[in-house]
């Protein structure tokens, strides 16, 4: 069986379903529109995080910079040189507080020179007549001459995330334009939100679970019947039986499909020449089938036929014996 025949059968079912909405408000198809092709977003760290390698960590506090997996104090106190993780004291490490005083003592009123030992300057501590630098800047540790900068761990990392910019929305790893109000995005399609009093039913909305189940059963039966009607058979009688069964389940199905055909052809044209050609072929078959139904009904009821099919004139010119089951 050709896949095109199956496709055309499904198209006829869809055409008939479009017309059914106007008569049955217990079910209708979800409104939808395309929102373009998704783009691959870059990997970034969320707000408040910073990137270190391929991972994200909490941003360092003010006055600290990241160094490896640590947040390290930025800069050094006055009088120190920055050596990366340490600061080096630029002043004297040690000095002698002892000095010569030319008038340290007096003998008979005359100055006699001598040594005098002063106190150590601030930051120094005296030991054995020597002053050593011992001051440790706040928050630092280690040697007073080369103290270690204050630091703390970056903490637990997290993986980088895909981030969409410019108002776009992330869905399944791609960035899409945001849907209009009243619609919800699923991949490249924006679907209408469920209205009050309805519930989801596949690609449509139904008033209740029972209405949904009935609609699905009806659609399944219609598709199966229409596909059978298009399957080539070995005898004309078998074809007539299949076609008659499809029509009997929905007497006005072909007419409904024929009425809805132009709108569907117009919509599908935007999706490619091949799709539009198949849609038009399905619409033409719907017209033909509707014309045959009218003529057969007219023959049974003894009234003048009304033709809507493209081959109506050719059909009416055939002998009556060939009309049924054609």
The side-by-side arrangement of strands in the sheet containing 55-58 is 49-52, 55-58, 158-159
Residue with structure tokens 């198949």?
278
Shortest CA distance to 244 belongs to which of 296, 205, 319, 285? 296
Task: Give the DSSP letter string of 133-158.
Answer: E----TT-EE-SSSEEPPEEE--S-E
Backbone angles phi, psi at 283, to 5 degrees: -65, -40
310: left (phi over 0), alpha (psi -120 to 50) or beta: alpha
- The position carrying tokens 């776009």 is 168
Q: Taking the chain (326 residues) in consecutive chunks of 10 residues, what is each chunk's mean pLDDT?
A: 57 52 67 93 89 92 91 94 95 93 79 86 94 95 96 93 89 93 93 90 87 80 61 48 47 47 48 56 62 60 49 46 47
The pLDDT of residue 94 is 96
**Predicted local confidence at residue 77, as pLDDT:** 94
Taking alpha carbons only, the member of 161, 136, 132 closest to residue 147 is: 136
The answer, as to whether pTM is greater than 0.75, is: no
What is the structure's pLDDT at 165? 87
At 213 the pLDDT is 86
Task: Report the pLDDT value the prediction gives residue 114, as an integer from 0 to 100.
Answer: 80
d(CA 178, CA 295): 51
Q: What is the pLDDT of residue 29?
A: 87
151 beta partners: 72
194 touches 207 (CB < 8 A)? no
Residue partners of 140: CB distance under 8 A and separation at least 6:
73, 87, 147, 148, 149, 150
């Amino acid at each position: 069986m050709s896949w095109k025949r199956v496709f055309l059968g499904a198209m006829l079912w869809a055409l008939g379903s479009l017309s059914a909405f106007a008569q049955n408000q217990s079910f209708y198809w979800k409104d939808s529109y395309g929102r373009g092709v998704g783009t691959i977003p870059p990997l970034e760290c969320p707000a408040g995080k910073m990137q270190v390698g391929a991972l994200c960590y909490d941003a360092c506090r003010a006055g600290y910079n990241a160094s490896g997996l640590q947040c390290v104090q930025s800069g050094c106190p006055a009088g120190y040189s920055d050596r990366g993780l340490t600061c080096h004291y630029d002043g004297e490490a040690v000095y002698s507080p002892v000095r010569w005083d030319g008038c340290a003592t007096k003998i008979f009123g005359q100055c006699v020179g001598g040594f005098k030992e002063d106190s150590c300057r601030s930051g120094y501590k005296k030991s054995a007549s020597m002053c050593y630098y011992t001051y440790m800047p706040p928050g630092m540790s280690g040697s007073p001459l080369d103290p270690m900068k204050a630091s703390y761990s970056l903490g637990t990392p997290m993986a980088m995330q895909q981030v969409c910019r410019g108002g776009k929305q992330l869905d399944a790893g791609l960035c899409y334009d945001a849907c209009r109000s009243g619609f919800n995005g699923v991949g490249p399609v924006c679907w209408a939100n469920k209205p009050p009093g309805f519930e989801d039913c596949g690609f449509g909305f139904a008033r209740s679970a029972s209405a949904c189940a009935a609609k699905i059963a009806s659609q399944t039966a219609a598709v199966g019947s229409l596909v059978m009607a298009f399957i080539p058979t070995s005898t004309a009688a078998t074809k007539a039986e299949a076609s008659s069964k499809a029509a009997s389940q929905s007497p006005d199905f072909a007419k409904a499909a024929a009425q809805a055909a132009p709108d569907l052809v117009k919509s599908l044209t935007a999706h490619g020449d091949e799709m539009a050609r198949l849609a038009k072929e399905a619409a033409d078959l719907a017209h033909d089938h509707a014309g045959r139904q009218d003529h057969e009904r007219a023959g049974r009821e003894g009234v003048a036929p009304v033709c809507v099919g493209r081959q109506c004139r050719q059909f009416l010119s055939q002998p009556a014996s060939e009309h049924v089951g054609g």
